[in-house]
Amino acid sequence: MLFSFALAMFPHPASVLVLGLGLCVSGVKDRCSCTKSGLECFFDSTCPGLGCGAEGQPHCRYCGDPKGVYGACPKLGVHAKQAKPQADSELTGSLASAAAVANTAEPKTVPKANAGLSSSMLKKAFDIDVFRCMAAAGVDAHPMEDDDIASLDGAIKYVHTEILTEHLQNPIRDTRKYNIDVVTRHRMKVLNPDTILGTPHAVQGEFGQFITYDFGKATNPDQMPIIQEQGDFVGIQPCTDLQCDPRYIACKPYAWLSLGNWCPNLSWDKKGTKKKPNPHCLKTVHGNFTKGGLCEHGFNGNGFLPGSSPTGDPGCIYTYGAATFVRLDDVVGITSEYCGKSHCKDWLDFRFNCSNRERYARKFLPDGQIEKVSYCVEFDMHPACEASCEAPSCKGLLQSGAPAYLGLPFWYGRCDPRANERRVEIVAHALGIPGALHSHVLVDTDVLQRACPPSIQSCNQEGVYNESESSRCSHTGGKLRVGHVCHQLP
């Protein structure tokens, strides 16, 4: 029974690559037709891969007329660059789990942090880095609009709580859930509209309300009137009170951002084009269709930095550059594990072929027993802690020293705030953010030298940590700067 998942039960992954090939004939540009989106796309022989997959066609990539979001067709081969993780002995440093630190602060309503910002300060676009965990094939394959993204902590937290837990997943899957295999980083310039800046609608100084998007559609109908009044904006949902998810203990605030508001009441496939919107698209209180926040020419596919600045007018709230990314398999240690005589190639190779089966071919049963399985496991978490680190049974388990985590050590310690911080710092380092491993700073010095959000300038400290175990979550209070966002701590 324990070994009942035969390898033969894994479906073969290669079939995915064949899909849609017939639509894209080598060298014949218009055989890559993107009729649904109305965008131009072209055949790219380097596909499938990063940025490929326009309208689900693995060998097609979006470009456009020079007036469009994508600009002219990029030169072949000039696509997202992979950040080079530097060798650093600290990467092997301890991530071992420690006893969870109780977080006793009462949940509070989210404070606003825009007091004292003069309107002239607010009228300048600021730079911000945004992050996402996603499938490599989807990177920069679609404009980032009517969608949610995150701070780096938020992105890693999402994978840790929603994607990995082995005993909650289909055992015969052949990729991570949703094919997630990279962490992307985009540099963005943001200037929210007058309907938000300097008004009581502003959240954290310069953001609008967070809009939850699913396939391009805002999922909460109560938010439609807000979009009708405030138009296009970048919204934020900060986890400032540190009480956002009992499955993930954080001592540092994190945040999600929402982008866009172009035809937010319809999913991507139904919106039509910006020139010819579906007549059912949402209209503003002025009777016009919302335009969406991404400026015309707003995506610079040829470099990391955005090519232009947003004006803050309807239809032009943000711009951004091409992604850099790291592969999760590299960061989490899959490609450092052995599969036979050589290192594992990727998630699936590790799944089938990992050498250290005594350690990795194990998962938790619902009653907390450890079961040996016939495949290697990236991460699993004891059921007593999976639903809540705060549950007495979880605290008891952690105190007892019994195994609470299985799989790669990188993912150990989801109930341990220091381990969670350390993970984020390791990914930040891999993404090339200087100082991430040494000073807890997750924001690029390059951004600090550019215009940063005005609210940050009145924020009195960059995330400060008291290394004493007993006081992990005891900040000094006041305003705490985390990355590009100023959080007023409760």
Q: Which is nearer to ligand NAG, 261 or 300 (CB)?
A: 261
Q: Which residues pair with 472 in a beta bridge?
A: none
48 prior amide bond cis, ω within 30: yes
Nearest alpha carbon to residue 473 among 159, 104, 121, 213 = 104
CB of 345 to ligand NAG, least distance (A): 6
Q: Which is nearer to ligand NAG, 457 or 461 (CB)?
A: 461
Q: Which is nearer to ligand NAG, 36 or 352 (CB)?
A: 352
Q: Which is nearer to ligand NAG, 298 or 315 (CB)?
A: 315
Exposed/middle/buried for 258, CB within 10 Å: 0-12, 13-18, 19+? buried
Nearest alpha carbon to residue 286 among 394, 364, 201, 193 = 193
Q: Which is nearer to ligand NAG, 33 or 169 (CB)?
A: 169
Buried-exposed string 319-343: b where 16+ CB fall within 10 A, e elsewhere: bbbbbbbbbbbbbbbbbebebeeee
Q: Which is nearer to ligand NAG, 75 or 286 (CB)?
A: 286
CB of 270 to ligand NAG, least distance (A): 8
Q: Which is nearer to ligand NAG, 29 or 479 (CB)?
A: 479
Whole-angstrom distance, CA of residue 281 vs CA of residue 294 = 17
Nearest alpha carbon to residue 355 among 330, 380, 369, 336 = 336
CB of 212 to ligand NAG, least distance (A): 15
CB of 267 to ligand NAG, least distance (A): 9
CB of 131 to ligand NAG, least distance (A): 28
Please report, in angstroms and rounded to a whole number, the separation of the first and last CA atoms in the chain. Answer: 51
CB of 307 to ligand NAG, least distance (A): 25
DSSP conformation letters of 253-318? -EEEEEE--SSTTS-GGGSB-SSSB-TTS-B-TTSSBP--SEEEEEEETTSSS-SS---SSTT-SE
List of residues contacting ligand NAG (CB under 6 A): 265-266, 280, 282-283, 286, 288, 314, 340, 345, 348-349, 352-353, 466, 468, 470-471
CB of 273 to ligand NAG, least distance (A): 16
